[in-house]
């Protein structure tokens, strides 16, 4: 299934570069030149990942990331910048972005980050499904507590019964082999 990526950057050359690289890797790429345009495209589509520039006129990349994360907390977002600061990187991490990349970017770096982040999304989706399945199964707290306290006694019963069962089986098979019965 084709993965869909939204690239948000006010530089058309950067958008085209991302589009070329990711399309060659099998992604479907949509581009936006501003935060407003990104939200218009985001509202009408289901994206698997977002790349956003940090510095843009109007809404910056952190605002774009924050708003998208509010709408879809599991969607991986990568912030790309040529003007990165430690403060901006810390804010991005606090918002929950998957990666914070510094320009200039190489085609292989773009492809590697997309693959790595999409891999994380797949892992997160699998974990969400497992949690949902576990939550859907009816369980009883009383049953779990009872099993917790019964487990040592069940183990003790096996330990005490094992020698008697072993002697009985040895005797039974010994008698059978001596009498020739199978």
pLDDT tens digits, 125-148: 555 555 555 555 555 677 777 777
Pick left, alpha or beta for residue 47 (phi over 0 → left; psi -120 to 50 → alpha; otherwise beta).
beta
SS3 of residue 73 by DSSP: coil
Higher pLDDT, 137 or 43: 43
- In this predicted structure, what is the pLDDT of residue 174? 81
Q: Has residue 121 got a pLDDT over 70?
A: no
Q: Has residue 158 got a pLDDT over 80?
A: no
Domain boundaries, the chain: 4-136, 140-182
Q: Check: CB of residue 45 under 8 Å from CB of residue 30.
A: yes
* Interval 90-112 mean pLDDT: 88
- In this predicted structure, what is the pLDDT of residue 16? 92
Average pLDDT, rounded, for the chain = 82
Q: Which residues of 113-141 are buried (b: 16+ CB within 10 A; e: fewer)?
A: bbeebbeebeeeeeeeeeeeeeeeeeeee
* Interval 67-80 mean pLDDT: 89
**Segment among 25-29, 85-89, 91-95, 136-140 with least mean pLDDT:** 136-140
Q: Evaluate whether the domain defined by 4-136 bears CATH number 3.40.50.10790.
A: no
Q: Has residue 43 got a pLDDT over 70?
A: yes
- In this predicted structure, what is the pLDDT of residue 84? 75
pTM passes above 0.85: no
User: In the chain, what percentage of residues exceed pLDDT 90?
Assistant: 18
Higher pLDDT, 71 or 138: 71
- Non-local (6+) Cβ contacts of 82 within 8 A are 55, 102, 103, 104
Q: Check: CB of residue 40 under 8 Å from CB of residue 90.
A: no
């Amino acid at each position: 299934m084709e993965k869909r990526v939204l690239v948000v950057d006010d530089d058309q050359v950067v958008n085209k570069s991302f589009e070329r690289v990711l399309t060659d890797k099998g992604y479907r790429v949509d581009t936006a030149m501003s935060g407003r345009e990104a939200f218009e495209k985001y509202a009408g589509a289901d994206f698997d990942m977002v790349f956003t520039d940090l510095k843009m006129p109007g809404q910056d990349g952190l605002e774009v990331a924050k708003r998208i994360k509010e709408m879809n907390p599991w969607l991986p977002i990568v912030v790309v910048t040529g003007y990165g600061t430690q403060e901006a990187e810390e804010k991005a991490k606090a918002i929950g972005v998957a990666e914070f990349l510094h320009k200039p970017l190489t085609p292989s770096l773009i492809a590697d980050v997309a693959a790595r982040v999409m891999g994380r999304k797949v892992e997160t989706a699998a974990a969400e499904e497992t949690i949902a399945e576990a939550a859907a199964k009816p369980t009883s707290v009383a049953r779990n507590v009872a099993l917790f306290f019964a487990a040592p006694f069940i183990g003790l019963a096996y330990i005490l019964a094992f020698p008697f069962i072993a002697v009985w089986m040895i005797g039974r098979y010994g008698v059978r082999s001596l009498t020739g019965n199978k």
